[in-house]
């Protein structure tokens, strides 16, 4: 790991995504629609069984960056 780099495995990414989704009061289905994927994809990401594409990661970043807590 490079100094200052943050390592995130599939499981910790899934936990973060689930937390962000819950704070924004979105269901998996609603988030899926916003990202152009299926709710099954969201479930797999949140459970650490799969990971989104780079393009979808960009969409996730943009979506949750706009939400104020």
pLDDT digits (tens, 9 = 90+) for 27-53: 999 999 999 999 999 999 999 999 999
Confidence of residue 19 (pLDDT cuts 50, 70, 90): very high
Confidence of residue 10 (pLDDT cuts 50, 70, 90): confident
Q: Answer with the residue of higher pLDDT: 11 or 12.
A: 12
How far is residue 57's CA from residue 2's CA, in Å, rounded to a whole number? 21
How far is residue 19's CA from residue 13's CA, in Å, rounded to a whole number? 10
pLDDT at 3: 58
Q: What is the mean predicted confidence (pLDDT) over 52-59?
A: 95
Six-digit token string for 24? 């924004």
């Amino acid at each position: 790991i490079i100094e200052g780099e943050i390592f995130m495995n599939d499981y910790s990414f899934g936990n973060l995504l689930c937390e962000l989704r819950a704070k924004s009061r979105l269901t998996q289905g609603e988030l899926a629609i916003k990202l152009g994927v299926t709710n099954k994809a969201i479930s797999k990401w949140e459970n650490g069984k799969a990971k989104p594409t780079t393009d979808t990661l960009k969409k996730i970043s943009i979506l949750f960056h706009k939400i104020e807590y």
